[in-house]
Structure 1
Amino acid sequence: MLVAALLLAPPVAAQVGFTTPEGWTLTSKGAVTLVAPPEPDTRIAIVEVGAAADATDAAAKAWALYRPEAKRKMLVATPGAAKDGWDERVSLAYETAPNERAVVAALALRKGAAWTVMIADGSEPTFEKRGAAASLIQSSLRPAGYVKESFAGKTANRMTPERVKALTDFVAQGMAELGVPGAGIAVIENGRVIYAGGLGVRELGKPGPVTADTRFMIASNTKGMSTLLLSMLADQGRLRWDQPVTQLYPAFRLGDDRTTKAVLVQHLVCACTGLPRKDMEWILNTRRDTPASDTFKQLAATQPTSGFGELFQYNNLMASAAGYVGGMLAFPRLEMGVAYDRAMQARIFRPLGMTATGFSMAQALAAEHAAPHGTGLDGKVAVLPQDFNYSIHPARPAGAAWSTARDMANYVRLELSKGLLPDGRRLVSEANLLKRRARGVSAGEGRWYGMGLQEDVVADVSLIHHGGSMFGYKSDWVAIPAANVGAVLLMNGEEGRPLLRPFMRRLLEILYDGRPEAAADVRAAAAAFKAQLAAERARWTVPAAPEHLALLASAYDSPELGRLSISRNGAEASATFVTGRAGRLASRRNDDGSISFATYDPVILGLELVAAGSSGKPDLILRDAQHEYRFRPAP
């Protein structure tokens, strides 16, 4: 990777530095430097504007220098926290039509009187595929003279009761700002769980408090536990990390034969095989009785969109396959879903004392549990139905576990002890536990993805962690080996995501007396969410306009996503997928003349369907970043 420096246009004589990702090209002309991936449809422009009245003015001047012919309407400008040497940071979003499949955004940064503007201008599939590289450019863009914070060589403070309270107070404040009803928290230090408790309520409108034993969906935090199972099987000689997956499960197939042959066990959870994220099919077209084998059926129909080992591309189905392969090796005579469940209970949850952790939705909902919550287009927080959270069960090694703050603390303690149980017995070898942390593909500046785990280096301190996200649940855990400290945060609010990284940052601030940045990050994220929600609300007719609803058929079918039903209730219409009801529909006419429908209830807020076709009842197009799905009117 190349560290580039831009010579600023007069009268400013400083430089701005950033990192150019491997394989990207860099060209400069005057105040504009273009950074481009191998795909010809995408560019990132770094524009040295100099003086400007404000961020909006700076962005307008940047566009005039970069692409004066572009006439994009700005939707919203949202301030961010001042940090990384910048005195002011403002993100700007621009109008695009859904059929463009375009990403158009800007980040205006001010140091003193001079503005630098980063413009992202390109295709949605490319930005999704190369998101880690784009993040590297943005996160490494800093003004001249900036000195990065470093905790190298510092001895961490002890997590005294006062410091634990500083952490929980930070979470409580963040919850209030973001609209998160409840959180489970744990702190581990020197092999002991020194705090396990809860904040807020399990469900809005009810008094039940969150405790250390309240169950939450932990979503993708399941992945690291699944790879822990593989580590134990490696200890027993049941598999090798460098063994082709087809030797262990001959039926394993990917959409590309060459990729299939190249996939080793370690690649199942490396996010590096070139397979893109492909979640719509299991989210929208999974029944509660869908078998575990459906994971392998969907993988066989998934095509890579980048070279093997080239890019970070997160794929839940691959992680699901990893867990099921492990379960089949542990209990080869059982159905693969049953085998995985039994292996996880016998090999991991039971030895770690994780008595409240498992994959049964029914058991979790019958016990003390946190209800999921989300914010609708009206800005109100509401309890969500669990319909869509059932969808991950057939792919449960990737993210279907329920757990508690107390149980998760036991897991993090094992990570910190490098495989030792509290009584000194070894559960898994240090070598195979640490193999999961080996740096794989880059996920951004100072970030690498291993095997179901991620490493972030912040201020020269290594953090091992992984996040989790299902509908109405957000979580993360972190282990800081240098301090022998770990922490857990489980939340029951869809808007909890902006609290996850600041939670880790705040823990570092407490441990090393770091710059107080975390609280400002959360405040800025909360304000940005409200501004973006208001701007989005202004774009839509709620409920959908009658003339738009008249276009819709009562039912649609998609080969990949199944049946979509449209139901009417007076002036309102709702969309229901196989998995469950997505919500009521809003509508709008786009700049290109097309008609879009979007769900505005908080279950899947903003799921967009675009009408396609000019005669009869139109088809409906649903897209994720790299795939397009077509619903045709049912006969």
Structure 2
Amino acid sequence: MRKLWLAGMLAGLSAAALAAPALADTPPAAIAAPSDATTTAPGGSTVLLPAGWTATTAAKVLTLRTPEPDLKVVIVDVGAAADAKAAAAAAWAVYAPTRAHPFKLLTARPPRNGWEEAAVIDYETSPAEHLAQTAIARRLGTAWTVLIIDGSEATLEKRAGAVGQIVPSLRPAGYARESFAGKTANPLDPARVQQLIDFVKRNAEAMHIPGVGLALYSGGKIVYEGGVGVKELGKPDPVDAHTRFMIASNTKSMATLLLAELVSEGKLRWDQPVTEVYPAFRLGSDATTKSVQIRHLVCACTGLPRKDMEWVFNTTAQTPASDTFRQLALTEPTSKFGEAFQYNNLMASAAGYVAAHLYYPDMELGAAFDRAVKEHVWQPLGMADSTMVMDEALAADHASPHGDDIDGRPAVEPQDLNRAIAPFRPAGGAWSSPHDMILYMKNELDQGVLPSGKRLLSAEALLARRARGVPVGEDHWYGMGLMEDASTGVSVIHHGGDLMGYHSEMFAIPAAGVAAVILTNADNGPFLRRVFQRRLLEVLYDGKPEAQGDADAVVKRIAAEQAEFRSKVQLPGDTAILASLAARYGSPELGTLRLVLEKGYVRGFTPAWNSLMTTRRNDDGTVSLVSIDPGWIGGNEMLIGVANGKRTLTVRDGQHVYVFTEVS
């Protein structure tokens, strides 16, 4: 099971082999939608057609196409079928009977949005294909409707925001979504607070999350701050209001708050070219560089794909902060500005460092950012627990990171990779506590007014960070280091953060005057924070009781995915294949990889991490090397091969290929 923040990491052989197979048909002439629109499938269900996509209908099939030719979302009205798996098979038979790959896994989903039954069916693809194939089957009455995602994983990553709009928007004809618009929120009184605490406790235990930091704000005051569970497995110390967790990408909104303060003071404009204030900045070509404005650094809208592999493989805490700018200079966007949501940590890192440079131009970039966020964010807001220094956090009240092992049992994880975020720390390096983070979100509700009545910054500058930018889902947008989810009719301002063993989310619901923070110390944390948002809205607005059903389905899915992964890897590994590997490999971009045999496995060593690895045979006859240590289960997948007479290991993320070649 791949880590969420490493999703899409696949191995490959060569540029030719990595190309996804051509799609089965030639699209008929169609005009791309100029803006988001609703279209109707032959069976009457409705679905959102994102801007720039085209829709064509033939018989029982509605086909939605990306601007690229190698990815489709297909909706097939199957009619009656024995079950979800049979419905998916029938949909493939209508759409492209020879294209479907072997069945891999079916996991049930709670019926939502007017459907009475739902399931996701995954298919077995091999790393060299770089192919995404998934079916989502939904039933109303006796009739099944199946949505198929089929095509290039690279394009799916590029168009993930648009696909995120499509999938939840598929609804039966005439179904009206639940909406809390115009409703008065309930106060978070002690009884409702306890409901939220009980929900977190029950589901943290079920999801193998040892400890959760939780804080709630309502009615102009903090109504709860503390947590459930323990800081570290095997130790009795409970999580409390001042327990520090890594908040990872929630650091980004603090970088944008620094920029907003500069805008508020008239020292910067959101639309100002970056090179005017930081002349050394470059992004790919000269033309692209000149086009980048301050707001583009934090909008996830410049078409720059994720480029995390150099951090994951070849970065240490000693890498200079300036490496952010070195890497950006070598990177060109893969879509136009404003066209698609593509999340990139380097751009957010650059945003924080540009702000820090404007505050303290004579300081080294990393030190300048540490000082800027402390003096201009944390100290004014009273956030005394927060720090950018890991050793300082580890010497104080802190939670340790955890992840499930190969048998699904939670275990403590090392901090190595988390230390390696330091060079890019404006994108994800901060530590904070439930107490501090609820103060931070209170500032969002108060629109920059401090408890003293003085302003930290103007409301206009603060709120600009929430302006709706590129869509990341249906009625869900990315702003500048913050996101807005209006899918239930009320605006939820939020952002999440993910590092090894630390996963968090912060929420502000301005219409209710409510804020919440959830900090977890395990890699199943993202599953909890998503259902927590739903439960919070249920409690506030007396919504349909769906959150617990969603959580129960997640627990079953985690177990099913873990069991499926374990069934496909070799434990111990194939000794002949492991013995045939080189002891040392090198990549121009990712540095060195050293392999050491270890009792039927190999251990991989890079500057940023080490992990036990084993073999997995793929359906096309190739063999991959995969990590099996907690935190790395299924990650760092490397396809074993040979090129030009030398042994190779090939790694890829969504839109990049990296080849390690043996070195003497």
In structure 2, the residue matched to 1:444 is: 473
Shift in Å, 1:71: 4.5
- Aligned pair 1:328/2:357, yes or no? yes
In structure 1, the residue matched to 2:623 is: 595
- Within a 5 Å distance, the mapping from 1:177-196 to structure 2 comes to 177-196=206-225
- Partner of 1:7, secondary structure, is coil
- Report the AA paired with residue 149 of structure 2: A
Hey, what's the Cα distance between the residues in 2 that align with 1:198 and 1:312? 34
In structure 2, the residue matched to 1:397 is: 426
Hey, what's the Cα distance between the residues in 2 that align with 1:527 and 1:500? 17
Shift in Å, 1:208: 0.7
Hey, what's the Cα distance between the residues in 2 that align with 1:376 and 1:255? 40
- Aligned pair 1:247/2:276, yes or no? yes
Q: Map Cα deviations across residues 552-586 of structure 1 (whole Å, 9 max, x no partner).
A: 100111111111010112322111111121x1112
Contact 1:285 1:579 in 2 (8 A): yes
Relative contact order: is structure 1 or structure 2 higher (C-alpha 8 Å, sep ≥ 6)? 2
Identify unmatched segments of 5+ residues in structure 1: 9-14
- Within a 5 Å distance, the mapping from 1:56-67 to structure 2 comes to 56-67=85-96
- Partner of 1:28, secondary structure, is strand
From 573, 597, 603, the equivalent of 1:574 is 603
Hey, what's the Cα distance between the residues in 2 that align with 1:551 and 1:125? 31
Hey, what's the Cα distance between the residues in 2 that align with 1:169 and 1:79? 25
- Aligned pair 1:358/2:387, yes or no? yes
- Aligned pair 1:406/2:425, yes or no? no
In structure 1, the residue matched to 2:32 is: none
Contact 2:523 2:631 in 1 (8 A): no
In structure 2, the residue matched to 1:632 is: 661
Contact 2:568 2:617 in 1 (8 A): no
Q: Map Cα deviations across residues 325-370 of structure 1 (whole Å, 9 max, x no partner).
A: 0001001111111111111111110111100101100000000100
Contact 2:180 2:490 in 1 (8 A): yes
- Report the AA paired with residue 467 of structure 2: A
- Aligned pair 1:377/2:406, yes or no? yes
- Aligned pair 1:142/2:177, yes or no? no
- Aligned pair 1:211/2:240, yes or no? yes
Shift in Å, 1:603: 2.5
- Partner of 2:89, secondary structure, is helix
Shift in Å, 1:149: 0.8
Shift in Å, 1:591: 2.3
In structure 2, the residue matched to 1:609 is: 638
From 270, 284, 291, the equivalent of 2:320 is 291
Hey, what's the Cα distance between the residues in 1 that align with 2:65 and 2:270? 35
Shift in Å, 1:498: 1.1
In structure 2, the residue matched to 1:11 is: none
201 and 6 in structure 1: CA distance in 2 versus 1, 3 angstrom threshold? same
Contact 1:76 1:94 in 2 (8 A): yes
Shift in Å, 1:617: 4.9
Contact 2:474 2:487 in 1 (8 A): no
In structure 1, the residue matched to 2:140 is: 111
Q: Map Cα deviations across residues 409-452 of structure 1 (whole Å, 9 max, x no partner).
A: 11000000000112212111101000111111111101111110
Hey, what's the Cα distance between the residues in 2 that align with 1:571 and 1:157? 58
In structure 2, the residue matched to 1:282 is: 311
Hey, what's the Cα distance between the residues in 2 that align with 1:614 and 1:402? 44
Hey, what's the Cα distance between the residues in 2 that align with 1:268 and 1:366? 33
Hey, what's the Cα distance between the residues in 1 that align with 2:528 and 2:646? 44
Contact 1:93 1:106 in 2 (8 A): yes
Alignment TM-score, normalising by the size of structure 2: 0.93
Contact 1:259 1:273 in 2 (8 A): no
Contact 2:386 2:433 in 1 (8 A): yes
Hey, what's the Cα distance between the residues in 2 that align with 1:288 and 1:147? 51
Contact 1:4 1:19 in 2 (8 A): yes
In structure 2, the residue matched to 1:510 is: 539
In structure 1, the residue matched to 2:41 is: 6
Q: 32-41 or 312-321: which moved more?
A: 32-41
Shift in Å, 1:135: 1.3
Q: 405-414 or 251-260: which moved more?
A: 251-260
Q: Map Cα deviations across residues 55-103 of structure 1 (whole Å, 9 max, x no partner).
A: 0110111111011122421111000111111111100110101000000
Shift in Å, 1:284: 1.5
- Partner of 2:491, secondary structure, is strand
Contact 2:298 2:347 in 1 (8 A): yes
Contact 2:582 2:662 in 1 (8 A): yes
Hey, what's the Cα distance between the residues in 1 that align with 2:292 and 2:643? 45
From 221, 226, 233, the equivalent of 1:197 is 226
- Report the AA paired with residue 301 of structure 2: C
- Aligned pair 1:564/2:599, yes or no? no
Shift in Å, 1:255: 1.5
Hey, what's the Cα distance between the residues in 2 that align with 1:529 and 1:66? 30
Shift in Å, 1:589: 2.4
From 611, 614, 624, the equivalent of 1:586 is 614
Shift in Å, 1:145: 2.5
- Within a 5 Å distance, the mapping from 1:122-161 to structure 2 comes to 122-161=151-190
- Report the AA paired with residue 605 of structure 1: I
Hey, what's the Cα distance between the residues in 2 that align with 1:433 and 1:2? 31
- Report the AA paired with residue 196 of structure 1: E
Contact 2:651 2:658 in 1 (8 A): yes
- Within a 5 Å distance, the mapping from 1:36-55 to structure 2 comes to 36-55=65-84
Alignment TM-score, normalising by the size of structure 1: 0.98
191 and 421 in structure 1: CA distance in 2 versus 1, 3 angstrom threshold? farther
In structure 1, the residue matched to 2:126 is: 97
Hey, what's the Cα distance between the residues in 1 that align with 2:311 and 2:320? 12
Identify unmatched segments of 5+ residues in structure 2: 1-35
Hey, what's the Cα distance between the residues in 1 that align with 2:617 and 2:645? 18
Q: 184-193 or 411-420: which moved more?
A: 184-193
Q: Map Cα deviations across residues 366-397 of structure 1 (whole Å, 9 max, x no partner).
A: 00100000012221111000001011110000
Hey, what's the Cα distance between the residues in 2 that align with 1:195 and 1:222? 23
Number of aligned residue pairs: 628
Q: Map Cα deviations across residues 465-505 of structure 1 (whole Å, 9 max, x no partner).
A: 10000000110010000001010000001011111122111
- Partner of 1:187, secondary structure, is strand
- Report the AA paired with residue 621 of structure 1: T
- Percent of aligned pairs sharing the same letter: 52
Shift in Å, 1:266: 0.8
- Partner of 1:254, secondary structure, is coil
Contact 2:578 2:597 in 1 (8 A): no
Shift in Å, 1:616: 5.3
- Report the AA paired with residue 551 of structure 1: S
Hey, what's the Cα distance between the residues in 1 that align with 2:100 and 2:516? 47
Hey, what's the Cα distance between the residues in 2 that align with 1:47 and 1:546? 45
- Within a 5 Å distance, the mapping from 1:420-459 to structure 2 comes to 420-459=449-488
- Aligned pair 1:367/2:402, yes or no? no
In structure 1, the residue matched to 2:7 is: none
Query: After the TM superposition, which parts of structure 1 deviate over 3 Å for at least 4 consecutive aligned residues?
Result: 614-617
In structure 1, the residue matched to 2:113 is: 84
- Report the AA paired with residue 297 of structure 2: L
From 144, 164, 169, the equivalent of 2:198 is 169
- Partner of 1:414, secondary structure, is helix
Hey, what's the Cα distance between the residues in 1 that align with 2:475 and 2:265? 34
- Partner of 2:524, secondary structure, is helix
Hey, what's the Cα distance between the residues in 1 that align with 2:571 and 2:455? 58
In structure 2, the residue matched to 1:269 is: 298
Q: 477-486 or 595-604: which moved more?
A: 595-604
Shift in Å, 1:614: 6.6
In structure 2, the residue matched to 1:484 is: 513
- Partner of 1:136, secondary structure, is helix
Hey, what's the Cα distance between the residues in 2 that align with 1:93 and 1:408? 37
Contact 2:137 2:147 in 1 (8 A): yes
In structure 1, the residue matched to 2:340 is: 311
